[in-house]
Amino acid sequence: MTGIPSDDKTKKKMTMTYDVTRIASHRGGTLEFGDSTPQGFRATAAMALEEVEFDVHPTADGAIMVHHDATLDRTTDATGAIRDLTEAQVRAATIDYGAGGHPISLAELCEIFRESAVTFRCELKPGPGGLAYPGFAPKVVAELTRCGMLHRTGFSSFLIETVDALQAASDRPCVWLVSPPVLTQLGAAGVLEVCAAHGIAEIGMNIDSATAELMTQVRAAGIHFGCWGAHDAARIDRALEMGVKVFTTDRPSLAIARRTAHQTARQMEAAQ
Ligand code: FE
């Protein structure tokens, strides 16, 4: 017999609400500390939140670097695609608005978070042109294993091919990030079909695409629902009011303050 017994399915659906909506500091809190900066990651490691979101890319000489874009062009004083540069060349770039910081490796990020309670949400980005880096997922899993951080890592990707590769390379949770065009094209039913076909247990959507109805539909299928792009108070409040599992934010300090206010308001309501 295959599949989840119906009792377990019911239990799974019933438990798909969360006492606390998790906060993920997006790229180490881009709007507070610069984009994927050492200072942002160090600050995040000391914050009262649950996850740090970051993106990884391979270099020409086999290193794994933490950076959002596939190139250095937009957010640093250097140019070029990371996959075409050496680790030393990527490190030599200075990140804009980043207190003089330079891109760091995945191994260095592991060191920053070694003593922190904050867990990893590691996104595997495509390379220039939007295609997945060949063979990259097992390399990232191997590096996190070597650094002793795999057991504290969840993965994410917009690319189904990469989600498949991550799920084949490790048993760690993996979030499929559903972009607004994909949601528009597939609709909720189509998204759930893809989840079923690929064994996807959690999806993330842009907070501006997320509705309570959509979340209910996703959860009814036994799939966790989170959001990304909650970068201002209104969007953060919406994510908290919806009770999503997790949201990523470029403003982690603001998100913590809003969550505390939200929790206090809920407690006062309950006491009345
Ligand atoms: Fe990301």
* Arithmetic mean of pLDDT, 84-107: 97
Give the Å distance between the CA of 27 and the centre of ligand 1.
7
For 243, counting Cβ atoms within 10 Å of its Cβ (0-12 exposed, 13-18 middle, 19+ buried), the class is middle
Cα(267) to centroid(ligand 1), Å: 33
Q: Are strands 22-26 and 51-58 parallel, antiparallel or unpaired?
A: parallel
CA distance 80 to 49: 34
Instruction: For ligand 1, an ion, list residues with CB under 5 A.
Output: 55, 123
Residue 253: C-alpha distances to residues 26, 32, 44, 48, 220 (Å): 11, 8, 9, 9, 32
pLDDT surpassing 90 at residue 203: yes
Distance CA 137, CA 133 (A): 8
Residue 7 Cα to ligand 1 middle (Å) = 36
pLDDT of residue 8: 52
At 3 the pLDDT is 39
CA of 122 to the centre of ligand 1 (A): 8
CA distance 84 to 90: 10
Find the 154 Cα to ligand 1 centroid distance in Å. Answer: 12
Compute, in angstroms, the gap from residue 42 CA to the centroid of ligand 1. 18
State in Å: Cα 125 to ligand 1 middle.
7
Both tokens assigned to 206: 């842009």
State residue 15's pLDDT score.
55
**144 CA distance to ligand 1 middle (Å):** 17
CA distances from 30 to 97, 230, 253 (A): 9, 12, 11
Distance CA 121, CA 108 (A): 15
From the CA of 10, how far away is ligand 1's center (Å)? 32
Residue 168 alpha carbon to ligand 1 centre in Å:
21
The Å distance, Cα 218 to ligand 1 centre, comes to: 22
Q: How confident is the model at residue 18 (pLDDT cuts 50, 70, 90)?
A: confident
**pLDDT given at position 16:** 73
Interval between CA 227 and ligand 1 midpoint (Å): 12
pLDDT at 202: 98
pLDDT, mean of residues 74-103: 97
pTM: 0.93
Per-residue pLDDT reduced to its tens digit, 151-166:
999 999 999 999 999 9
Q: What is the mean pLDDT of residues 50-55?
A: 98
Residue 272: band (very low, low, confident or very high) from pLDDT cuts 50, 70, 90: confident
Which pLDDT score is estimated for 216? 96
Distance 84 CA to ligand 1 centre (A): 21
**pLDDT, tens digit, 9 for 90 and up, residues 120-131:** 999 999 999 999
Residue 14 banded pLDDT, cuts 50, 70, 90: very low
DSSP codes, 249-268? ES-HHHHHHHHHHHHHHHHH
Residue 11 CA, ligand 1 centroid: distance in Å: 32
What pLDDT digit, counting tens, does each position of 213-252 carry?
A: 999 999 999 999 999 999 999 999 999 999 999 999 999 9
Q: Residue 15 C-alpha to ligand 1 middle, in angstroms?
A: 27
pLDDT at 192 (0 to 100): 98
* CATH class as words, domain 23-271: alpha beta
- pLDDT score of 17 more than 90: no
Give me the pLDDT at residue 4, please.
Answer: 41
**Cβ burial 50-67 (10 Å sphere, 16+ → b, else e):** bbbbbbbbbbeeebbbbb
Query: How far is the centre of ligand 1, averaged over its atoms, from the C-alpha of 51 (Å)?
Result: 12
Rounded Cα distance, 122 and 50, in Å: 13
**CA atoms of 135 and 142, how far apart (whole Å):** 12
Q: How far apart are CA 125 and CA 166, in angstroms?
A: 12
Residue 95, SS3 per DSSP: strand
